[in-house]
Structure 1
Amino acid sequence: MKITHYLYNAFLIESGDKKLAVDPGGLMFYYFRFSPLIPKSEWNNVTHIFVTHGDPDHYWHADRMAAVSKAPVICNKTMVQEIDGKYLLLGPRDKGVAFTTEFKNHHKLSVDETIEVDGVTITGIKTTHGPLTVKLGPFSKTLNPGRDERIGWGAIGFKIQLDGKTLVNLGDTLLHKDEWESIDSPDVLMIPIGGNAVHNTMDIPEALQAIRIMKPKLVIPCHYNCPAFFSKNFNHADEDEFRNELEAMDIQYAILHKGDSIHV
């Protein structure tokens, strides 16, 4: 199995005839760019598309990838509404909470629900997106997830079982100690660590708590030191600090930068 990371929470997971794309979003307004995180050259052979929530850096290109690949989209049931007899998903590039986009093939699930999609078993995991504070010079604005707010809409994590391996991807989330105790020793855990300054996800100490609970065989940190707005290191986190803590815990890890891969 090959896992490739493309910044934020964008991953490709390849095993046999399966090619799973997680969060095919775009650059987060980086100098007004919304370029795809997962290269278009990879889209054609994607077999499954996972969406952890509706923020632009996770979801911006989901419909475009689906149109090219014809792959099913797996997401939280809150990402879908039935309107005038059609099942419409949250519009990837619409403002606010607008259900405007018809995906030809989608599968929705809830937390703790398990479904099987074309040979891949998927269980929904409880996650909660934290508030996002954006600073531009002396000005700052905090976006809080809520009933009518786009930020963090549809947040859910995934436990993915494929070819005898269990992978966990949490998307953007705060810590959930009690809800994650049932996740036991996954082969791979993809976990955000960049919440120290921005607070929309766990920071390093909180991620380490989650790792102690789940006891994964391999950890891949994500959603930190990302290009966003006018910064090259939005969601800053200290890789060396995280690496040292994992080594002290005797946990295997892979620090993957843009386009880096690991075989597991």
Structure 2
Amino acid sequence: MRITFYGYNTFLIKSGVKKVLIDPGGDFYLFKGWLKSLIPQSQWAAITHILVTHGDPDHYWHVDRIAEKSGAPVICNETMVQEINAKRLLLGPRARGLAFTTEIKNLYTIAHFETLIVDGIEITGIKTVHGPLKIKLGPFSKTLQPGPNKRIGWGSIGFEIRMDKKVIVNLGDTLIHRDEWKTISSPDVLMIPIGGGRVHNTMDEKEALEVAEIIKPRLVIPCHYNCAGLHKKNANPANEKYFYDEVKKLGVDCVILRKNESIEI
């Protein structure tokens, strides 16, 4: 099994003929191709499954385009879908606000703690909650708060993925959930955000370390840190060396993947 990282929380998991894409988002940097696909378009047609952790642009912008190109099923939180005029419509990836406008031919919904099987891959929904996001432009700043009528963090869910005798956990963008995650036990891989120190929209390094100690994975891959955001090259900084060293002290393996780097497990 090969895992490739494309930045933010975009991962491609390849095992045999299966190619599972997590979070088909867009680059969030104004000066480097605003919202261009994080995963190269040359990879789109070969995708076999698409998993979406929530509806923010850096996680979701190209979901319908890749689904159309590949024919892959889309798996997302049940809150990402509404039935309107007898059609099941997905939250519009590029729509403003909570507009359900996009029809996907091959669509599966999942709830927190629910399990479904799609083409031989077993997927369980994990409880996650996106934190507030502070956006600063010069002297002006605005904090976007997740909520029942807010687009930020909409549909937040994590995934426990079981395929080809491996277990991979991806938590998306989330704050810590100590009690709910105690049921997750020793996955082969834990993909975990660590960039919430300055802007607490996700866990920071210390919280992510606490989660690694609770879950006890075999391998940890930190993500969603030192990412570009709007006009900033590094909107959510984290000390990956500190995190790496502290994870190793727990007796757990850790790998730092740069953009477009892969690891085989």
With the shorter chain as reference, the TM-score category is over 0.9
Instruction: Show the counterpart of 2:102.
Output: 101
Q: Does 1:6 align with 2:6?
A: yes
2: CA distance, partners of 1:208 / 1:138: 34
Counterpart residue type for residue 66 of structure 2 = M
Mapping of residues 96-135 of structure 1, within 5 Å:
96-135=97-136
Alignment deviations for residues 105-134 of structure 1 (CA, whole Å, 9 cap, x no partner): 110010110000001000000000000001
> How far 1:29 sits from its partner (Å)?
4.5
1: CA distance, partners of 2:166 / 2:35: 33
Higher mean C-alpha deviation, range 241-250 or range 162-171: 241-250
Q: State the SS of the aligned residue for 2:14.
A: strand
Mapping of residues 106-255 of structure 1, within 5 Å:
106-255=107-256
1: CA distance, partners of 2:65 / 2:29: 18
Counterpart residue type for residue 109 of structure 2 = K
Instruction: Show the counterpart of 2:64.
Output: 63
Higher mean C-alpha deviation, range 31-40 or range 58-67: 31-40
Alignment deviations for residues 127-185 of structure 1 (CA, whole Å, 9 cap, x no partner): 00000001111111000001111000000000000000000000000000000000000
Identical counterparts, % of pairs: 61
- Taking structure 2 as the reference length, what is the TM-score of the superposition? 0.98
> How far 1:30 sits from its partner (Å)?
2.8
Counterpart residue type for residue 19 of structure 1 = K
1: CA distance, partners of 2:251 / 2:232: 33
Q: State the SS of the aligned residue for 2:178.
A: coil
Alignment deviations for residues 85-104 of structure 1 (CA, whole Å, 9 cap, x no partner): 00000000001010000001
> How far 1:28 sits from its partner (Å)?
1.6
Alignment deviations for residues 29-51 of structure 1 (CA, whole Å, 9 cap, x no partner): 43371110011111111000000
Q: State the SS of the aligned residue for 2:210.
A: helix
Q: State the SS of the aligned residue for 1:181.
A: helix
> How far 1:203 sits from its partner (Å)?
0.2
1: CA distance, partners of 2:97 / 2:28: 16
Instruction: Show the counterpart of 1:92.
Output: 93
- Report the RMSD for the aligned CA atoms in angstroms: 0.8
Instruction: Show the counterpart of 2:40.
Output: 39
Counterpart residue type for residue 227 of structure 1 = A
> How far 1:12 sits from its partner (Å)?
0.3
Q: State the SS of the aligned residue for 1:43.
A: helix
> How far 1:243 sits from its partner (Å)?
1.2
Give yes or no for contact 2:29–2:232 (8 Å, CA) kept in 1. no
Counterpart residue type for residue 263 of structure 1 = E
